[in-house]
Amino acid sequence: MSPLSARLIVVSNRLPLALKREDGKWRFEAGSGGLVTAMGPVLKNRGGIWIGWPGNREPIELPLLRQILGPVSEESGYRLLPVILDEGEVENYYEGFANAAIWPLFHDLQTECLFHPRHWEAYGKVNGRFARVAARHSDREDLIWVHDYHLMHLALKLKERAVERRTAFFLHIPFPPPDIFLKLPWRYEVMEGLTAYDFVAFQTMRDRQNFQACLRAFWPSSRVRGRGPVVTVGRDEGDIVVGALPISIDFAHFEALARSPKAVQTCEELRKAHRGRKIFLGVDRLDYTKGILQRLEAYGRLLEGQETLRESVVFIQILVPSREGVEAYSRLRDEIERAVSRINGRYATTGWTPLSFFFRSLPSDELAGFYRAADVAVVTPLRDGMNLVAKEYCACNTDGDGVLVLSEFAGAAGQLAKGALLVNPHDVEGLARTLVAACDMAREEREKRMIRLRRAVRRQDIFWWVDNFLRAAAGRALRDFPPDDLAPLLPRPRERPLA
């Protein structure tokens, strides 16, 4: 790969925006989530491309969509290319196979799994469509970097069309051990798709080892060569490079956000409103993997067993809407709202509401103010690939005086264990005790732990992650993808598309 001509082609299920129709007009909202936070700074002004579904369920003509995305591309600093999905494909590929089969299975929530042949068929069809767009707008010198469980078959679809590309895949969610993975009816086909990539990376060493164990289950002669985070697995069918590379955040960006006027104002308003009380903070996307009900139950146990803490603490839970059309998520929201009502109904006084609940996403600078105001961040997923909220809290804790309560089942626990208070989110009583310990922790101990946390996040930030990923995937660093203009809408003239 020539460093002067290679480009990054990022492919994910969603573009970093959501296209919506209101009052007969199309508009877009900026995307949220870990991938958007991570990849935006990497692609900006490097001539890169981001391919994905714009999130619309209503039909829209492609020329109009390109007209809408053009100015957004200019503002973002990278080209946005849409993949159009119809309502049936969204239902079967996205809500079906990806989020009703793979998502719960890989998070060890097997009772939530739905395995339907129609969903699997749609998954292959949509992966093929993403592959065609990627082939058309790339050439052999580019690196096609595919993200997450929605597109595990993209590289295989390229190979089926005889399209030669260097491909890399990063799984943002956990990868399960064989005893769980083998329950998937299309287990061999999924492994065949993943092994079609030149490089496959995971969040943690545990995830990588689970993948290697599944490789051995299907290809018993496979052998690992090398040591460290990135190794080669030799197979008769061809070698595959696999890695464990934990994703991170732009530390400097979040630290600057925490010092912004809006963040400072929000922080001051929160502290004034809660009158010097200890502020617990939870920030989560609506999902049953996040352990929100267990967390609220633990807070209720704290209030029940620690009368002296009543009226001296408050819990703020921010819940970002997600997959609202899926019945399981609607039920979960109802359960969370009932739990909030029970706690407030039982313990609230005329001058104190123990639990504040926000069901909406917040602008990044306002969210940074919440992070900065929080004395204790409570990040307790039942299972999570990484969880960037934990890292964002540390970066925004510019006073150096916060406490991070972190699930041992979050991928971030591997990097943040020395500074965080690790908990088992299934142990509600233990979690309640840890919340009390966080309240009682001496300032000197809080500062010492936060120094460790901030140092860990700063040292292994998003640019560290990208550099290490690119070195493993393509033998290049981020600086080898130099500043450039926006990529053209059609392939560059030096190569005719093969698909």
DSSP letter (8 states) at residue 487: P
389 alpha carbon, distance to own chain's centre: 10
137, 172, 253, 274: the active-site residue = 172
Alpha helices in 348-420 (DSSP H): 364-373, 388-396, 413-416
Phi, psi dihedral angles at 385 (to 5 degrees): -60, -50
Nearest to 131 by CA among 161, 168, 90, 166: 161
Nearest to 285 by CA among 10, 35, 21: 35
Strands 278-285 and 240-244: unpaired
Q: Which residues pair with 285 in a beta bridge?
A: 320
260 by Cβ neighbours in 10 Å (0-12 / 13-18 / 19+) ranks as: middle
467 is catalytic: no
Dist CA 462 CA 464 (whole Å): 5
Assign 389 to helix, strand or coil: helix
Dist CA 364 CA 10 (whole Å): 23
107 is catalytic: no
Dist CA 260 CA 370 (whole Å): 12
139, 375, 384, 461: the active-site residue = 384
239 alpha carbon, distance to own chain's centre: 28
Rg of the chain over all Cα atoms, to the nearest angstrom: 23
Q: What Cα–Cα distance (Å) separates residue 180 from each residue in 177, 195, 242, 391?
A: 6, 19, 20, 29
CA dihedral 329, 333, 334, 340 (to 10 degrees): 160
Catalytic residues: 172, 384
